[in-house]
Amino acid sequence: MELLERLKALSDAFGVAGHEDEVRELIRGMASPYVDSIEVDPLGNLICSRGEGPTVMLDAHMDEVGFLVRWIEKDGFIRITPVGGWDERLLLGHRVVIRARNGKKVKGIIGATPPHILSQEERKKAVPLEDLFVDVGAKSREEVEEMGIAIGSPLTIHYPCEPLRGGYVTGKAFDDRVGCLGALEALRITAEEELPYKLVVNFATGEELGLRGAKAAAYRINPRVALAIEGTIGADVPGIPEAKQPTRLGAGPAITVADRSIVVRPKMVEFLEAVAREEGIPFQYKLPTYGGTDAGAIHLERGGILAGVVSVPCRYIHSPVSLLYLPDLEATVKLVVGFLRRAEGLLR
């Protein structure tokens, strides 16, 4: 599989936070040729291990933002509640996929009161999430239930991953399927190398619910050093001054100095800078203090863990569709591989 094919497979997979099964099985198949062991912990984290010695951990989260069914109207319309952070302005009129109890996917559309019958004042306002509903073409609650849809069924907005032009790619769930792909590529590229430590890659659950999976996994893995790989906020768009753009597409991987969940120790920041310079990788800094990552949970476990973050800039994350620049993804993979080849230096 080429890089773009692997990205498409991961992006298109269904994995609303707390319901990551499909993504986990896909990643299990991709990772298994390159590791010695794979286990799934009680929270659903997929933990892949190789080698012996002190532990270095990579982390990327499998889950994506989505919704749960919170009520089914008697006439077959479905009310929803968010899982993770959504911008309510962007939801109306989009296609969704609901995973039914039997595992089948049911397609629907997010609807609301037609604008033709709204007042001028009402048309100017974003439709509150509680007023939105999903239309699956059903005439009754019983018909919806016969589809296997119930209270708590997960759903998300779904558009297929596809290339645009000039290296740009669009798709859903780039936060954080690009991180998962980065970790998988690092495993594949270093598969024949004898790294002088135990490498454990955690594909985490529940990041969008408050870094939950990574917290439990980090306690279990007990690494000396950890690196989280993320898809982060690319904001190089009209109307946003450079000083407020956390990252920019085309400028390479972003090294986190600080965000809302962690202040990265200078030792780690300088190490990542040195790796990038030695490998000839263009890089940027993610401007503080936007967002948070699994590193925020990881670095506080046990007696404290030296942790850092590298990210792929992605425009429009936590919206119906995102956009990235493939050379940024490729450079991020190269940075993670360079990190692994030198990580022994952080263990001393």
- Which residues are known catalytic residues? 207
- Provide the residue type at 22 as one letter: E
Q: Name the E strands within 158-316.
A: 162-163, 168-171, 198-204, 225-234, 254-256, 284-286, 306-315
Q: What tokens were used for 168?
A: 């740009």
Q: What tokens were used for 164?
A: 């645009």
Q: What tokens were used for 72?
A: 């089914």
DSSP 12-77: HS--BTT--HHHHHHHHHHHGGG-SEEEE-TT--EEEEES-SSEEEEEEE--B-EEEEEEE-TTS-
With H, G, I as helix, E, B as strand and everything else as coil, classify residue 121.
helix
CA distances from 87 to 52, 249, 300, 320 (A): 44, 21, 30, 10
